[in-house]
Amino acid sequence: MDIMNLIGTNNIYTTRLLLRKFTLDDAQSMFDNYCHDEAVCKFMTRNPHRDINDTKEILSNYFTKYNNETYKWAITLLSEPEKGVIGSIDFTKLDIESCTAEVGYCLSKAYWNKGIMTEAFKSIINYFFNELKGLRLEACFELGNDASEKVMIKCGLKKSCRIETNYLPLKNKNVVVQYYYIDKTTFINNTY
Ligand SMILES: CC(C)(COP(=O)(O)OP(=O)(O)OC[C@H]1O[C@@H](n2cnc3c(N)ncnc32)[C@H](O)[C@@H]1OP(=O)(O)O)[C@@H](O)C(=O)NCCC(=O)NCCS
């Protein structure tokens, strides 16, 4: 049986980014940079935060509760650390038995189309296969979210036959999502 190496959320450095754990001090920059923004939330499962208290609540109830099975990174810029957190990337689902995970991400609109999420996602793929010893990584996007599909393709993921209709309770609507995936064999044969 394959066993994952569950080392938790550690710092990851890329050319332009530091991916790190969230802290309670991140609420203001998260709210200002992306949590409040309708454009960022359009294709996400949650609604925009109304005020910073919404952000503080998810930070304390969810984002900062780390253990070795929690993988949530705050995306920060090495060149502009004062901007705080400009986005997030995480394993929304981790299945230790099958050594698989699902990835979710979002980024402040001010930084879209600069290759930032592609850079972040590639580093997470590396972490998943090289450090955690995972076997298969999946991600999905709502049909119409072309930028997200493009990120998946640029990161070497392949289109899966898995298409699902999901109910989003916070938005009270159904959405159709398309899955992409990358497995260990494809990862080994790719250059990251
Ligand atoms: C999806 C998202 C994370 C992409 O982040 P990003 O840093 O802008 O992504 P990148 O710059 O690495 O790549 C985006 C690619 O999509 C392309 N793109 C952007 N908008 C597009 C559109 N409407 N239609 C087609 N392609 C589009 C860009 O041109 C770029 O491709 P290129 O490098 O070949 O030019 C960002 O748009 C975002 O946070 N969106 C809101 C939250 C969200 O949708 N999260 C994902 C839920 S599945």
Atom of ligand 1 nearest to the CA of 107: 39
57 CB contacts (<8 Å, ≥6 apart)? none
Report residues whose beta carbon is within 6 angstroms of any ligand 1 atom: 40, 43-44, 105-107, 112-118, 141, 145-148, 150-151
Q: What element of type H or E holds 125?
A: helix 116-126
Mean pLDDT of all residues in the chain? 96
Please tell me the predicted confidence (pLDDT) of residue 191: 66
Beta bridge partners of 77: 17
Atom of ligand 1 nearest to the CA of 142: 48
Task: Please determine, for residue 1, whether its predicted confidence score (pLDDT) is greater than 80.
Answer: no
Average pLDDT of 37-41?
A: 97
pLDDT digits 0-9 by tens, 3-28: 999 999 999 999 999 999 999 999 99
Residue 189 confidence class, pLDDT cut points 50, 70, 90: confident
Q: Which residue's CA is the nearest one to ligand 1's atom 27?
A: 147
Please tell me the predicted confidence (pLDDT) of residue 62: 86
Please tell me the predicted confidence (pLDDT) of residue 192: 64
pLDDT digits 0-9 by tens, 115-124: 999 999 999 9
How far apart, in Å, do the first and last CA atoms of the chain sit? 27
> Domains of the chain by range and CATH?
12-137 (3.40.630.30)
Average pLDDT of 91-107?
A: 97
Task: Please determine, for residue 154, whether its predicted confidence score (pLDDT) is greater than 70.
Answer: yes
